[in-house]
Amino acid sequence: MSRLVPPHGGKGLVCCLLEGAELEAEKKKAAGLKQIEISSRAKGDLIMMGIGGFSPLNGFMDKANWKSVCEKMLLADGTFWPVPVTLDISKEDAAAIKVGEEVALVRKGEIMATMKVSDIYEMTEADKKWECELVFKGEGPDSQNFWEVAPKDHPGVKMVMAQKEFNVGGTVKVLSQGEFPTKFPNVYMTPAQLRAKMDERGWGKVAALQLRNPMHRSHEYLAKIGVEVCDGVVIHSLVGALKPGDIPAEVRVECIDTLVDKYFVKDFVIQAGYPLDMRYAGPREALLHATFRQNYGINNQLVGRDHAGVGDFYGMFEAQEIFKKIPQPAEDGKRLLCQPMNIDWTFYCKKCDGMASMRTCPHSKEDRVILSGTKLRKMLSEGAEVPDHFGRDEVLVILRKYYEGLTEKVEVKMQRAASGSAM
């Protein structure tokens, strides 16, 4: 009998991925359907719907669901859902298809899914701005002048504003998991696979550490807090696409492998990966992470400062506070059951001679080594010396090798959260 939290939505794992004879028949049918090219973000969303990671979603959102999610963080049926999951199409494609029709969704030559169209709705510039303000606008200084800063500096906003003129909604049948099972064979896991692994270990209370940066000492400290108070911790890395300047998944996975091998008791930690692209939606994305992690069997999410943030768009701990403000549907299945495990600002303190937080360390800022993934990337990209106790030596060797091999380098901008100036 599993001790893990049930999937979100009250319907079990809703998996749209076809298998066996059903898969082969749908592939043949898909070859004769009108093809719609989809974005990298939509590909990741599709795969998550395929494997049950986005339960209870079984397709891209129609206008009613899009509007309700943006406004209320609820699906039209009252189930909690924090960010819109939509598919944009061109004006020409919108004119060429109709409600009730089936289409093939294609990414770079591979048919990823078929979709039965239930809604086609225009997305004006005003509609896109409305979505951006509700989903991406936070309480940080960059959000005070949102439309002056976001169009050039917020990757999520740029992505939405660059979407095509229409959205199309409808249920999907997913035909592929893309490259992820072969590219990350020991890391990429479906919710069912991760649940089985945790059930084997008898875990019930599980914490997840969200990672999009290489794992430094602060991440390690957070994970070990989770290990101390839970049955185990899942180091759950995004293996989809990131913004320019971020470190690719295969390098981050190697870093985590090294850390787990040398600095963790392996019985209490699992490294896993999921196929989404980052949206950089800060607090709303923290809620999305908690929602799909519930589907993976995780009931606690470690949330530190500036979770899933970018620039200075969000308050330092806005991603913790938002959990107190979300709607609470009456039905258990429709509520978010994965809860935040809030951790204060963490750092290495020279006087404490170890990792600490604002709640445990009484010393001054001058005694602290402020840790952040952005700060680490900036130092490494500029060939600067990395301070003692910032990262494990074995990990820094891997990262320096990666940066030395780059032919093009992207400037890494520092923000308050990364520099420590807001402490």
Active-site residue set = 212-213
Rounded-to-integer distance, Cα 134 and Cα 71, Å: 7
Rounded-to-integer distance, Cα 80 and Cα 327, Å: 7
**Cα dihedral 39/212/339/332 (nearest 10):** 20
Rounded-to-integer distance, Cα 26 and Cα 20, Å: 10
Beta-ladder partners of 119: 169
Provide the phi-psi class of 279: left if phi over 0, else alpha when psi is between -120 and 50, else beta: alpha
Rounded-to-integer distance, Cα 215 and Cα 165, Å: 39
Note whether 295 and 191 are within 8 A (CB): yes
Rounded-to-integer distance, Cα 126 and Cα 137, Å: 15
Rounded-to-integer distance, Cα 224 and Cα 357, Å: 13
